[in-house]
Amino acid sequence: MNNPFATLSVDPAADKRDILAHVAAALRDGRHEARAIAEAQKTLFDPIARAAAEFEHILGACSGSSSPLPELDAEGGRPVLKRLC
């Protein structure tokens, strides 16, 4: 799933009015395909999908890693615990 916040260039704390303004600007400027913009809007208007997108946004912003898989230690192959932020 693409990051709807990045697609619309909107802050995760944005309300519906802000999202609609960014949707209109994205469509007007042609930054993304209309389908991607509509999908981002749909995601942000659905409370459950938005919560998942916010969680992924936080993980992506904090981890600095593109892989969702944890790093493994050299000895036993156990996951390495690390702070996200």
What total of structural domains would you count in the chain? 1
Residue 29 inside a domain? The answer is yes
Residue 75 inside a domain? The answer is no
Neighbours of 28 (CB within 10 A): 8
Report the Cα 47 to chain-centroid distance in Å: 14
Residue 83 inside a domain? The answer is no
pLDDT in tens, 69-79: 556 666 666 66
pTM above 0.75, yes or no: no
Residue 37 inside a domain? The answer is yes
pLDDT at 28 over 80: yes
Q: Side-chain half-sphere of 20: how many Cα atoms within 13 Å? A: 3
Residues spanned by the domain of 51: 4-63
Give the pLDDT of residue 57. 79
Residue from 80, 51, 53, 43 nearest 65 by CA: 80
Judge contact between 19 and 45, C-beta under 8 A. Answer: yes
